[in-house]
A and B are shown apart, each in its own frame.
Chain A
Amino acid sequence: MDLPQRRTDIGPPHYKDFLPPVIQKNYGDWKHHEVLSGGVMVHVGNSGDKVWSVRVASPRLLSTDTIREMADIAQKYCGGYLRFTTRNNVEFLVSDEKNLGPLQDELKAKKYMIGGIGPRISNIVHTQGWIHCHSAATDASGLVKALMDDFADYFTTKTLPNKVRLAVACCTNMCGAVHCSDIAIVAIHRKVPKIDHDKVKNMCEVPSTIAACPTGAISPDPGKKSVKINDDKCMYCGNCFTVCPPLEIHDPEFDGVAIVAGGKVGSLRSDPKFSKLVVPFIKNNPPRWPEVIEAVDKILNAYAKDAIKHERVGEWIERIGWEKFFKVTGLPFTFQHIDDFVIARETFRTSPAFKW
């Protein structure tokens, strides 16, 4: 096979080669922008030039056929320019206003979901799941599809007090910013890894396996040239499995997902926040995980009803108090909600002033 000459250390192509002319011209000189609908916004330059962005959802997992279709649509209406967002949406960049209507018509005809801008649910940041990951305790894409089908109106048209950022992580490794999302699903294991001592001996480094454990549950087993795990200390995080695959952590019977809420990354109004545990466990129920949808629904509905305009989920919960959050959502509070990981005491309440 005749291959072209490979080159190393050239880095990515220069971004300027991919910017539409209107953006090159107004680069760094934008005046303001306006959200025109759930999926359309216009940015206005100090020059008076305008660029319209039409945002559509994508499942992140894309076939080359679909990417080609997007490229063709951009060619037809956008001079061949488009971009992807951090949350895996696609933005068609329109510099000629008369293309705006026909572009949206074609997108709708081809069943693209236009939306995700403004105080709405944007696309869900997620991980690989069963599609491609070794440590997945659930499938991320299936959960995302089921959730977004349910919340489609909040993506396209309906508004909320502020934007709601959802995320799905298929294990506690949490690729992506799941730990700082308004509402997020994180898959968990609940059983101590089963050790295949023969394989540990050949495949694993004992010191790095011990160091991988956040709770100090792993110690050497010199007789077997392997390791042992203290069942009372193990919190089933699965980090040891990543370092040493013969510590099998998967257990379909007991694996499932937890739901966390109240995180954010922006500094607007209040500091960035971590998401906190609201539902400790729901069993995997593919293909549509109805129990997860139901629980997320409860949180979202309570937020939509109670929150003040511009409050994010976490800000709303802090205002009403966590005790009231559990009351208005009807979600049960359990032992799992009280922290007993290594940094536990930060979350204990140190005041007698609270709500019933």
Chain B
Amino acid sequence: MPKKYETPLLDELEKGPFPSFVTEIKKAAAKSSMAGDELGQLEKSYRDRRGYWKHGGIVGVRGYGSGVIGRYSSLPEEFPEVANFHTVRINSPSAFFYTSDSLRQMCDIWDKYGSGLTNMHGSTGDIILLGTTTDKLEPIFAEFSSRGWDLGGSGSALRTPSCCVGPARCEWANIDTLDLTYNLTQEFQDEMHRPAFPYKFKFKVAGCAVDCIASIARADCSIIGTWRGKIAVNQAEVANYAKSGMNIQSEIVDMCPTKCMSYDGKELKIKDEDCSRCMHCIAKMTKALKPTGEKGATILMGSKAPFVIGATLSWVIVPFIKLEPPYDEFKDLVRKMWEFWDEHGKNRERIGELIIRRGMREFLEFIGVDPVPQQVKEPRRDPFFFWKEEDFQK
């Protein structure tokens, strides 16, 4: 029988309309003494206004260096059931689609070996199984892997790639985000499970510039779908939007960042050569506007949270690349990037930080990409720049 704790502070968070995480922990605590002690320790955190967890260490499943994150209570005597409370990351399926049966299967395993608490999903996109002990790791892995599930990434490794809903349920997808995510994950299993990078590496795949997966802000390699061609305009549907109350001039034309559109009350015109494909007009008038022509993606690199040099957004490396199975051109490019990082990267240095430290030129030359204006917002402002011997021969 799980130990019961008085939780007056947390009980406050069971009130109100939004679903309560406290209720979730209590549901799990009705069955699991680990979840019970999690609740007890959390109440203490609320009282003392500080966390009581320690990280790191040497937990994992045999052969893998990733997928399990060691977590220990710093108050093991007070909360013995969470003395070991490790996280298991399960690689989620592309775009987080599930069947009822697959979810039930997961729940059955997790109830048997862990706290019954999960995150659907963690920030990177894994299914997070929150809280188990070291001796349960091998059984959990055997149960999951024998049913077709594998562990996700952690540590200095490729992290679980993730993507937006893409062509599964969105008319704006320029690339097959689900297939590319699945394909990359399968191709780079070794890089995911046996950490050999200087630090973490994340792929996030977005079908268009709306970027519902926040690829540009949180992926070492951001893959964002785009097109090369005109926007086809269905004038009858434009008229329908106008009729239903949309102010085409102020809501669409005036908000276009490139001023490439005009509207005379009857016809919406687009000067396609000036369009930057930002998606505003298409997102607001999805029935009227459709990209046409060649579909592909822009490859950007380097985004990450603030540690160590300050937060970065990904910047353009390859303005346009076709992305169709088996994605060989892209995979070759990725391998070159990793080679550069392996050669020069320091421990805990993200690839974007390395590119900034060594310079874009060195990186671009290494991976074999030419300099183009699409890679910068503007040329440099300073008069300090390197010349190499080969530049003099040009």
Contacts and interface: CB of A to CB of B under 8 A. Distances in A.
User: Do A and B touch each other in the complex, judged by CB within 8 A?
Assistant: yes
Interface stretch (B94-102, B265-273, B318-326, B334-342): B94-102
Interface stretch (A55-63, A190-198, A222-230): A55-63
B70 to A, nearest CB: 10
Interface string A284-314: 1011100000000000000000000110000
Given A10-B145, A139-B45, A173-B307, A61 B21 contact: yes
Interface in B126-181: 130-131, 138-139, 141-143, 145-150, 162, 164-165, 167-171, 173, 176, 178
B217 A67 contact: no
B123 interface: yes
B64 A177 contact: no
A136 B46 CA distance: 12
Contact of B309 (A57, A84, A155, A342): A342
Nearest to B237: A32
B257 A43 contact: no
A218 to B, nearest CB: 12
A130 B21 CA distance: 12
Interface stretch (B282-290, B368-376, B383-391): B282-290
A272 B280 contact: no
Interface in B307-363: 307-311, 313, 346-348
B178 to A, nearest CB: 5
A4 interface: yes
A264 B170 CA distance: 21
Contact of B307 (A111, A155, A214): A214
B10 interface: yes
B238 interface: no
A269 B278 contact: yes
Contacts of A1: 139
Contacts of B168: 15, 19, 23, 27
Contacts of B394: none
Contacts of B101: 71, 80
A134 B71 contact: yes
A33 B282 CA distance: 12
Nearest to A24: B168
Interface string A99-142: 00000000000011100000000000101111111111001011
Interface string B11-22: 011011111111
A255 interface: yes
Interface in A1-39: 1, 3-15, 17-19, 23, 27-33
Given A149-B16, A252-B50, A265 B97 contact: no
Contacts of B143: 3-4
A179 B305 contact: yes
Interface in A132-172: 132-136, 139, 141-142, 144-146, 148-149, 152, 155, 172
A27 B171 contact: no
Interface string A43-83: 10000000101000111111111111011101100001111
Q: How large is the interface on A (under 10, 10 to 19, 20 to 34, 35 or more residues)?
A: 35 or more
Contacts of B123: 125, 127, 175-176
Given A8-B63, A11-B189, A132 B130 contact: yes
Contact of A83 (B10, B97, B147): B97
Nearest to A214: B308
Interface string A199-221: 00000000010011110000000
Contacts of A71: 100-101, 103-104, 107
A88 interface: yes
Contact of B310 (A243, A268, A341): A341
B327 to A, nearest CB: 15
B216 A70 contact: no
A193 to B, nearest CB: 14
Interface in B238-274: 250-251, 255-257
A341 B287 CA distance: 46
A267 interface: yes
Contacts of B186: 11
B75 interface: no
Contact of A58 (B17, B120, B211): B120
Of the listed residues B15, B17, B61, B125, the one surrounded by the most CB atoms of chain A closer than 10 A to its CB is B17
Given A12-B182, A133-B53, A274 B311 contact: yes
B93 A12 contact: yes
Contacts of A255: 49-50
A86 interface: yes
Given A61-B130, A67-B118, A130-B51, A179 B306 contact: yes
- Chain A CB within 10 A, most for which of B24, B117, B150, B346: B24
A270 interface: yes
A86 B214 contact: yes
Contact of B99 (A28, A58, A81, A245): A81
A164 to B, nearest CB: 15
B112 to A, nearest CB: 10
A286 B169 CA distance: 40
A9 B286 contact: no
B253 to A, nearest CB: 12
A134 B53 contact: yes
Contact of A268 (B96, B100, B210): B210
B280 A268 contact: yes
Interface in A307-356: 309-310, 341-343
B301 interface: no
5 contacts: A10-B189, A29-B167, A57-B19, A132-B87, A212-B348
Which 4 residue pairs are nearest across A and B when measured between Cβ atoms?
Answer: A149-B16, A4-B146, A28-B167, A71-B100
Given A66-B27, A136-B53, A180-B217, 20 more contacts: A1-B139, A3-B138, A8-B193, A33-B171, A61-B119, A63-B27, A63-B116, A64-B118, A81-B97, A86-B164, A130-B42, A131-B38, A134-B51, A139-B45, A175-B122, A179-B217, A179-B306, A214-B306, A237-B307, A269-B255
